[in-house]
Chains A and B, each alone.
Chain A
Amino acid sequence: MSLTASDVKKIAHLARLGIEDQQIESYANDLSSMLDLMTQMGQADTAGVAPMAHPLDQMQRLREDVVTETDQRDRFQSVAPQTEAGLYLVPKVID
């Protein structure tokens, strides 16, 4: 499988990664190789093998529904670029 330059640009955009135009070709090659490996793995006979969602053969432990966290807003907001009235401020986004 071979990815095109526009595939690479789209993937980079979805991940919000900035890549230089001259890097696109090498990314395209690397990503294509990975997809080839996936295709090869896809050919393995997995009939009768249960799909694996996690490499650890364990089940999720659950916590009791208890409030354990106290308000640390001031500490968290001391490292935020901009805050006002208790809110984090970010560049304007609106649909």
Chain B
Amino acid sequence: MNSQWEAVIGLEIHTQLSTKSKIFSGAATAYGAEPNTQACAVDLGLPGVLPVLNKDAVRKAVTFGLAIDAKIAPHSVFARKNYFYPDLPKGYQISQFELPIVGNGHLDIDVDGVGKRIGITRAHLEEDAGKSLHEDFHGLTGIDLNRAGTPLLEIVSEPDMRSAKEAVAYMRKLHELVRYLEICDGNMQEGSFRCDANVSVRPKGQQEFGTRAEIKNINSFKFVEKAINHEIERQIEVIEAGGTVVQETRLYDANKDETRSMRSKEEANDYRYFPDPDLLPVEIEESLKDEIRATLPELPETKKQRFLEQYSLDLESAATLTSSRELADFYEQVVAESGGEAKLAGNWMTGDVLGALNKAGLEIGDCPVNAERLAGLLKRIADNTISGKIAKQVFDKLWNGTATADEIIEQEGLKQITDTGAIEAIVDKVIAANPVPVEQFLSGKDKALMALVGQVMKETQGKANPGEVNKMLIGKLRG
């Protein structure tokens, strides 16, 4: 970005709360059902129906509020947000306006090792709308109302971010948090976690904000960064060419990597909020907050600090291993089952295991090698039964089968050769057969030793301990 300009970014993130039933009706929220089979009379807005608030949606909102250190409103109110669109059958969305359930809180992010606190203005409960399908219906639009009434928690940040990178870091942190709290499944493909970004630019040093544009529905971390960067550049170009930025809603087009104007906001924005007479104010008792506070899980940041201290991991490994609760739990189980091989487990998890999962497109919950079987492998590395190199072969077999590490080592005869005499014979053979590297080593080229170690490992099919071989070679050559 041009260094005279500073970007100001705030995010509105819609998280679908993972309840079984809708926020105001007893219809199911399961994803992927046949169209309109999970849309009941309340969701359709048929005359005479009344909304009844889902207790679990309220609990999940309170859980989030406590986790970001926010004030939970003792008294909050639902309001009608009025607009007409066919996927909103009532002609209004039940949302919260003046008195949201979650007040001011914050989330700490880290960008390139620099920490920053991002303010969260508020989080409020509301119902999701249905889906419009614009193709293939003889010039008509198809409406599926299964999603209508799904509980959402809209989380609104302060305009505290100054770069697309910070915005992505905040979004990731929030994504991690709602999954830790188990209030949202975080599935971005299915739309469980959606982001709108408010972006403006101003000359560096200026206090007032510039005019902002809102970018709608950017549903991957990658696109958020690209869309925001693109919008920042666009606004700077407009201003430097002597124009002014218009307050409007823009849509990000991932194919063209550009944002385009969706509609001018003035008209669309006249929502005429008023308190919904169908719903009474929601009271949150201290006792409910205490009860939820007592069941809050260990949060990502706390867990990371604990991993650093308890397992002596490096910062990067600790951050990776605590990036989801499932991964952290898996790691801790491996450490426990392996008899405390924390470092080794950390290396294997962040390296081979995550690598293999990535390649196969799997999550830790679907890992073909469970914690117990992985621990079985680590134990054999730790007690020198097998070398690190052989361990990789064993891991492949664990991944593709059901046998334990011990069974594989036994069946395939992969045990390290501990018979010193046998290794000595091979070392002698290698020295005799490789006069050139031997000569090089003796004339001071330490690197030449590696070639000899490699030869011995090859002869033993990887079953010798490389450290031992090293020592033995040096002993013999310098002896």
Contacts and interface: CB of A to CB of B under 8 A. Distances in A.
Interface of A: 14, 16, 53-54, 56, 58-69, 71-73, 76-77, 82, 84-95
A93 B132 contact: yes
9 contacts: A63-B52, A65-B55, A69-B28, A72-B40, A85-B142, A86-B37, A89-B140, A93-B134, A95-B263
Interface in B8-54: 19-21, 25-28, 34-41, 44, 46, 52-54
A56 B52 CA distance: 16
Given A54-B275, A63-B26, A91 B141 contact: yes
Contacts of B27: 67, 69
B28 A54 contact: no
Interface of B: 19-21, 25-28, 34-41, 44, 46, 52-58, 77, 82, 84-86, 91, 99, 132-134, 137, 139-145, 251, 262-263, 270, 272, 275, 277, 279-283
Nearest to A72: B40
A65 B262 CA distance: 37
Given A60-B280, A66-B20, A88 B143 contact: yes
A60 B55 contact: no
B36 A73 contact: yes
A60 B53 contact: yes
Greatest chain B CB density within 10 A among A65, A86, A88, A93 is at A65
B37 A59 contact: no
Contacts of B275: 53-54
A89 B37 CA distance: 15
Given A53-B77, A60-B282, A66 B26 contact: yes
A94 to B, nearest CB: 5
Contacts of B140: 82, 89-92
Given A65-B54, A69-B25, A90-B143, 9 more contacts: A54-B281, A59-B280, A60-B280, A61-B52, A61-B53, A62-B58, A87-B137, A93-B132, A94-B134
A60 B21 contact: no
B34 A86 contact: yes
Given A63-B26, A65-B56, A88 B263 contact: no
Nearest to A63: B52
A6 B269 CA distance: 18
A87 B40 contact: no
A86 B142 CA distance: 9
Nearest to A76: B44
Contact of B36 (A14, A66, A76, A82): A76
A77 B86 CA distance: 15
Greatest chain A CB density within 10 A among B56, B142, B283 is at B142
Contacts of B144: 86-87
Greatest chain B CB density within 10 A among A53, A73, A84, A95 is at A53
A56 B280 contact: yes
Nearest to A65: B56
Nearest to A88: B143
Nearest to A16: B84
A5 to B, nearest CB: 18
Contacts of A69: 21, 25-28, 38, 40
Contacts of A94: 134, 141
A84 B26 CA distance: 25
A30 to B, nearest CB: 18
Contact of A65 (B21, B99, B132): B21
A94 B272 CA distance: 23
A73 B35 CA distance: 9
A37 B125 CA distance: 33
B143 A89 contact: yes
A16 B85 CA distance: 11
Contacts of A95: 251, 262-263
Nearest to A86: B35
Closest A-B pairs by Cβ, 6 of them: A68-B26, A87-B142, A65-B56, A86-B35, A62-B55, A69-B40
A67 B143 contact: no
A65 B134 contact: no
A90 B34 contact: no
A69 B137 CA distance: 29
Contacts of A76: 36, 39, 41, 44, 46
Contact of B37 (A54, A71, A82, A90): A71
Nearest to B145: A88
Contacts of B84: 16
A87 B55 CA distance: 30
A60 B20 contact: no
Given A58-B280, A60-B280, A90-B140, A14 B145 contact: no
B284 to A, nearest CB: 10
Contacts of A53: 77, 99, 275, 281
Contacts of A77: 36
Given A65-B56, A71-B38, A88 B142 contact: yes
B263 A90 contact: no
Nearest to B18: A65
A67 B141 contact: no
Contacts of B35: 85-87
